[in-house]
Amino acid sequence: MLTFKLITYENEFRFGVTIRVIEAEIEREYEQDEAKALIIKFHDMIFGSTESMVNDERAIYPNDIAAIFERLKISIKFIDVNGKELAISTGSSGVLWHCN
C-alpha cells in the first residue's frame, strides 16, 4: 500500500501531495522496472488534474490522486502531519475525515 502524507497549506483548507513525493513512494514500494512503468501511467493520467504549487513543486489534490490510483487498482492511504490516517473518497473530495 502506498502512503502519502498530505501537505497542509497556510490557510489549512487545501491539501496536496507533490509529484516528487508520489514518485518516491512508488519507487520505494515497487521494483525499478515496475515503478518506472507505473510512474509513466500516473503521469499520463494526471493530465487535467487539479494542481497547485508548493515551494516551486507541482502538487496534486488528494481527490485526483485517489481517483487515479483507484483506476490503477492500487491501494493507497493518506496521513496527516501527525501520521493519523485520513479517510478518502475516489468519487468526491479526497479527504473526508480522520479514521478512528
- Which pLDDT score is estimated for 82? 86
Domain of 68 in residue numbering reads as 2-98
Q: Looking at the 3D structure of the chain, how many domains does it have?
A: 1
d(CA 17, CA 53): 10
Report which of 52, 79, 65 is spatially closest to residue 26, judged by C-alpha positions.
65
pLDDT digits (tens, 9 = 90+) for 41-89: 998 888 766 677 777 888 888 888 888 898 889 999 999 888 888 877 6
What is the b/e burial string over 19-53, where b = at least 16 CB atoms within 10 angstroms of the residue's CB?
A: bebbbebbeeebeeeebeebbeebeeebeeeeeee
Q: Is the pTM of this model over 0.85?
A: no
